[in-house]
Amino acid sequence: MAADGAFHPAVRSSPSAASVPVRRAAWHPALTFLLYASPFFFSGFCYEAYRRLVPLRGEIHVADLHALEARLFSVTTSDGPRALSDIVSSHTHPVVDVITGVTYFVFMLEVFVIAGYLFFRERPKMFDLSVSFVAMNLVGWALWLVFPAAPPWYVDHYGLGPAVLDAASSPAGLARVDALIGYPLAARFYSQSANVFGAVPSLHCAYATLVAWMVFPLRGALRWGTIAFAVCMAFSAIYLRHHYILDVIAGVLLAIPFAVYGPLLAGRLRRAIEVAP
């Protein structure tokens, strides 16, 4: 593979030409881009297939997760101890609604925009990101099946009793953004959700953490911008009642091993894709 990150099919040389430098024809940039982006397409395919596996999920956690959140992140108030996530989500403001709403809506857009930027800035890193992204998704979705968990908005609507298996997905705090713009954007988006009980880990936070980690070595404004976005995403997940603090922490922890070891897997795949004529 050349320094620019493009794939270069290997060319065999005869023994008599061993001393002659071997040149490889670079792949067309458009083809290289499609190859580097292919894990994103594969991830979308897997998500559609995942919908069929949702009925196989384990016992749904509702009250136990809510109790653990309250025990680990309890804050003393005039009304007695309360979970910090409850306090954060109860103090709303239209400006904060807009900021957190935009952050939560563009969670996938950030991944794709950064991937496109990396293609032109440091091409191998785009493949590192896309491979890490799909691998992290597969593990995250598997965890949703093994440990299905109710999000905070579910408890607000249905309480802490036995899980309501046919509960409809909700935009939660994003409904306030729908009200501001006068269009049910979030309501329509979340109506397509494959799994209401996919709260632990928060993949929204995992995506933002993965991107920030991948971009960090590049320095400059992009480094701090992606870090700020990841922090805002963590706050948004809690403020909008989509996740507990526990879910956010789980999402961040999920992203770290894929950010560290994903590039190693991507490097192996790059070498395997190189083909000789």
List, for residues 249-268, the tens digit of each pLDDT value: 999 999 999 999 999 999 99
Q: What is the mean pLDDT of residues 22-26?
A: 45
The ranges assigned to domains in the chain are 44-273
> Which pairs from 105-110 meet CB under 8 Å and 24+ separation?
105/174, 105/177, 105/185, 105/186, 105/189, 107/204, 107/207, 107/208, 107/233, 108/207, 110/207, 110/208, 110/211, 110/226, 110/229
Percent of the chain with pLDDT over 70: 88
Out of 114-118, 127-131, 209-213, 267-271, pick the least confident. Answer: 267-271
pLDDT digits (tens, 9 = 90+) for 166-201: 899 999 999 999 999 999 999 999 988 889 999 999
